[in-house]
Chains A and B, each alone.
Chain A
Amino acid sequence: MTTSARSPQVEKVDASLRLPVLIFFGSAALWLVVGTFLAAVALTKLVWPQFLDGPAFLTYGRIAPAAVNALVYGWASSAGLGIALWLLARLGRAPLNYAVLPVVAGLVWNFGVFLGLLAIIGGYSRSIFLLEFPGFVSAILFVAYLFIAVWGIVLFRNRAAGAVFVSAWYLVAALLWFPGLYFTANALLVWHPVPGPAQAPIGAWFSSGIVNLWLAPIALAAAFYLIPQILGRRLLSYNLSLLGFWSFALFAAWTGMAQLIGGPIPAWMVSVGVVSSILLFIPVLVISINLLGTMQGSYGALRWSPSLLFTVTGAGVFLLAYVQGTLLALPGVAAIFHFTDVLIGHGALLLFGFVSMVFFGAIYYIVPRLTGRDWNGDGLIRWHFWLFVGALGVAYVSLTFGGMVQGFALNDPGVRFASSVGFATPFRLVAVLSALALLLASNIFAHLFFRTMLAVLEETKPLPEAVTV
């Protein structure tokens, strides 16, 4: 798509965002490579335990959480913040004033992630999922976040008059929900830990909230903006948008408890988790119909717009991953597959297949508009796409099947525990090979991004008139 002769106002908006958004994207790309690398190392250790075995800082129990934290706080959250700022500015046609503050806050955020990963590797983690960073690091992240999010809210407040697009609802909500999640969970589990019996439900509420109330809304906001924008048409239905947003907001916050079935929490909490996971199917279906219905009859456009290709694939995976989430919440299913590799596969599907895929689409769309330079196509974006999709698909299928076998073995008291490990090993081996391909795909993305940045630094020309996707 060509946005020829952009209005001076749009150029002013983009110019004001160039530095902060590119810093978020650049650091995100680096963390993606680091996180995928650590994930590949951790997976390798599951099939070849002698690999890098011995030193404390390379042990599985430190590398695995470091990988997850690098991917969630380093990659997805940084990329999400950059996308949120750009979308809010673009939607409201409001330039970012005093950009130096979000720039500094973004650098502090990254410094915090770096310190936090060092702490995990160095053995200073309390091993609470997604809250592994020590208290002083999460305090740094929280303060940095506030400075970034306030700027996002200010952009929303300064918007030009007119209807508020559905993407802005998701973004404003996510910007408000994240501090609620992060502050509550750190206060109750890290800074001033509550007694042990109360920790499991709070931890499950937080870890499901990080996906459902933070990363997913930003990815949905990007998808709701990009698909109609690239196709140059209207979103299928305003009413569906309204229904999807509010029902998602209502149900998504409660789903985390389903994973604790049979666990140390009151039975009603599990029931609430199961029921809300089933009800969540309504918004998921509504959102998917709205997004994919907008695509109806235009799938040919996937050939010329890589942004659209990534975004639409991510939207499709959104449906798949959340339907699987509903299935995994059903008590009979959860009883067998909880504690197995099925959960790892599902987590990868959410984080890589849905969130990352849409974020890639958004970054491929936004960067040319900020730099005035097209991606030097030469097929590398296609390589990134197909390698990423293929690797993730193979990893997901093998972890899911391996996890199913593992689950049946664990639930048969006649089968020794060691056999459940043996059954899962060949599937994990396939996942290791896929993780290496995923690492290559992430490197291609980072290479493309930094090659473009270098080219921008070399030439100091002002923005050209036309930019292409």
Chain B
Amino acid sequence: MNRTPLLIFGAFLTFGSAWLGLVAYSYVTLGQLQPVADENTGGVNPPPLSGLAVAGQKVYAANGCVYCHSQDIRPRYLSADIAREPEAEPPVRRTVARDYFRDQPAFVGFLRIGPDLANYGLEKRVAAWNDLHRHLYDSREVVSGSIMPSYRYLYKMRKISGQPSNEAVTGLTGPHAPAPGFEVVPTEDAKVLAAYLLSLKRNDPLPEAPVETKE
């Protein structure tokens, strides 16, 4: 093969075909997906994220949560992802492209060194605020054998002056628990991260992703 134009043209053609098929196609189809109206709630699915949750995405990215936690529920015929959450109400379903409409970036993930978080907010939602902060502060005090890093750098330990703060994380145990007279309060980053985690819910009804009925 001695003809340079042939080499350059061929390299361009092979690359360009995949570029058109995978990149350009994704952009003009998946990239144009919009939320759909939900007749039951009068809102849209996927629902808008709170401002706190949007800020929390940045903390999630900055600390590399996605290198251990996927947010990707695969269909029942392929995996146990759905079977792992039998209690979820409404039931969980496979995730589809539109589920990531609010995500910037889309944290689909590729490893499960930690559990999948696609529906993390679904299980915990109410009153879990304090548990979540305890978990982030020192996970091994909450889940024995957990290998999650401690995110205590997202919290401030300070001396209680007067009344304890009503934001203080309670029930902390272990080596990093506050000494008597001290309290641990979440920084702004910890608060928005918790808001983001509790917002994670990827089972809203969508036309392309009906909820799979339980067997």
Which of A's residues lie within 8 Å of B, judged by CB?
45-47, 49, 53-56, 59-62, 64-65, 123-129, 156-157, 163-164, 169, 172-173, 176-177, 180, 184, 188-189, 193-203, 205, 213, 242, 246, 249-250, 253-254, 256-257, 259-266, 269, 272, 331, 335, 338-340, 343-344, 410-413, 417-418, 420-422, 425
Which of B's residues lie within 8 Å of A, judged by CB?
1-2, 4, 7-8, 10-12, 14-15, 17-19, 21-23, 26-27, 29-33, 60-68, 70, 72, 74-75, 78-81, 83-84, 86, 94-113, 115, 140, 143, 145-153
For the A-B complex, the count of residue pairs with Cβ-Cβ distances under 8 Å equals 229
Among A65, A260, A263, A420, residue most surrounded by chain B Cβ atoms (within 10 Å): A263
Which of A172, A262, A421 sits near B74, CB closer than 8 Å?
Answer: A262
A49 touches B147 (CB 8 A): yes
Beyond the given pairs A164-B1, A198-B27, A264-B100, 14 more chain A to chain B contacts, judged by CB atoms under 8 angstroms and listed by A's residue number, are: A59-B153, A61-B64, A64-B67, A123-B62, A127-B62, A169-B1, A188-B27, A195-B32, A196-B100, A196-B101, A249-B14, A256-B22, A262-B79, A420-B112
A198: chain B residues within 8 A (beta carbon): 26-27, 29-31, 97
B62: chain A residues within 8 A (beta carbon): 123-125, 127
B11 touches A61 (CB 8 A): no
A54 touches B1 (CB 8 A): no
B83 touches A46 (CB 8 A): no
Which of A129, A157, A201 sits near B110, CB closer than 8 Å?
Answer: A129
A195-B31 Cα distance, complex, nearest whole Å:
5
B105 touches A199 (CB 8 A): yes
A47-B146 Cα distance, complex, nearest whole Å:
10
A169: chain B residues within 8 A (beta carbon): 1, 7
B23 touches A184 (CB 8 A): yes
The answer to whether residues A173 and B101 also contact, given A45-B149, A199-B106, A202-B27 and a CB cut-off of 8 A, is no
B8 touches A269 (CB 8 A): no
Which of B26, B70, B86 sits near A202, CB closer than 8 Å?
Answer: B26
A339 touches B70 (CB 8 A): yes
B110 touches A339 (CB 8 A): yes
A53-B174 Cα distance, complex, nearest whole Å:
14
A201: chain B residues within 8 A (beta carbon): 22-23, 26, 30
The answer to whether residues A264 and B99 also contact, given A197-B106, A198-B30 and a CB cut-off of 8 A, is yes
A335-B72 Cα distance, complex, nearest whole Å:
12
A265: chain B residues within 8 A (beta carbon): 26, 30, 97
A286-B44 Cα distance, complex, nearest whole Å:
53
B11 touches A249 (CB 8 A): yes
A193: chain B residues within 8 A (beta carbon): 104-105
CB-based nearest A residue for B62:
A123
B102: chain A residues within 8 A (beta carbon): 196
B99: chain A residues within 8 A (beta carbon): 197, 264
B34 CB to nearest chain A CB (Å)? 9
A262-B22 Cα distance, complex, nearest whole Å:
17
A213-B33 Cα distance, complex, nearest whole Å:
30
The answer to whether residues A54 and B80 also contact, given A198-B30, A254-B18, A421-B145 and a CB cut-off of 8 A, is no
CB-based nearest A residue for B143:
A418
B176 CB to nearest chain A CB (Å)? 9
A201-B97 Cα distance, complex, nearest whole Å:
10
B106: chain A residues within 8 A (beta carbon): 196-197, 199-200, 203, 264
The answer to whether residues A197 and B147 also contact, given A64-B64, A127-B61 and a CB cut-off of 8 A, is no
CB-based nearest A residue for B66:
A127
B8 touches A163 (CB 8 A): no
A61 touches B72 (CB 8 A): no
The answer to whether residues A61 and B113 also contact, given A196-B102, A264-B96, A413-B84 and a CB cut-off of 8 A, is no
The answer to whether residues A173 and B11 also contact, given A128-B105, A180-B19, A193-B105 and a CB cut-off of 8 A, is yes
The answer to whether residues A213 and B22 also contact, given A61-B63, A127-B65 and a CB cut-off of 8 A, is no
B19: chain A residues within 8 A (beta carbon): 180, 184, 253
B107: chain A residues within 8 A (beta carbon): 127
A189 touches B105 (CB 8 A): yes
A266-B28 Cα distance, complex, nearest whole Å:
13
A177 touches B11 (CB 8 A): yes
Which of A196, A257, A410 sits near B112, CB closer than 8 Å?
Answer: A410
B115: chain A residues within 8 A (beta carbon): 417
B29: chain A residues within 8 A (beta carbon): 198, 266
CB-based nearest B residue for A120:
B64
A126 touches B61 (CB 8 A): yes
A272-B22 Cα distance, complex, nearest whole Å:
10
Give the top 7 A-B pairs by smallest Cβ distance, nearest first.
A61-B64, A262-B74, A253-B18, A196-B100, A196-B103, A198-B31, A197-B97
B144 CB to nearest chain A CB (Å)? 8
B23: chain A residues within 8 A (beta carbon): 184, 188, 201-202, 205
A250 touches B14 (CB 8 A): yes
B11: chain A residues within 8 A (beta carbon): 172-173, 176-177, 249
A202-B29 Cα distance, complex, nearest whole Å:
12
A154-B67 Cα distance, complex, nearest whole Å:
40
Which of B63, B94, B113 sits near A46, CB closer than 8 Å?
Answer: B113
B74 touches A59 (CB 8 A): no
A371 CB to nearest chain B CB (Å)? 32
A343 touches B26 (CB 8 A): no
A410 touches B80 (CB 8 A): yes
B8 touches A176 (CB 8 A): yes
B86: chain A residues within 8 A (beta carbon): 413
30 contacts between A and B (CB under 8 A): A49-B147, A49-B149, A59-B151, A64-B67, A65-B64, A126-B105, A127-B105, A172-B8, A172-B11, A173-B7, A188-B27, A193-B104, A193-B105, A194-B31, A197-B98, A200-B106, A201-B26, A253-B18, A254-B21, A261-B74, A261-B78, A264-B99, A335-B79, A339-B70, A339-B111, A339-B112, A340-B111, A413-B83, A418-B143, A418-B146
A53 touches B110 (CB 8 A): no
CB-based nearest A residue for B61:
A127
A254 touches B22 (CB 8 A): yes
A46 touches B84 (CB 8 A): no
B4: chain A residues within 8 A (beta carbon): 156-157, 164
A177 touches B15 (CB 8 A): yes
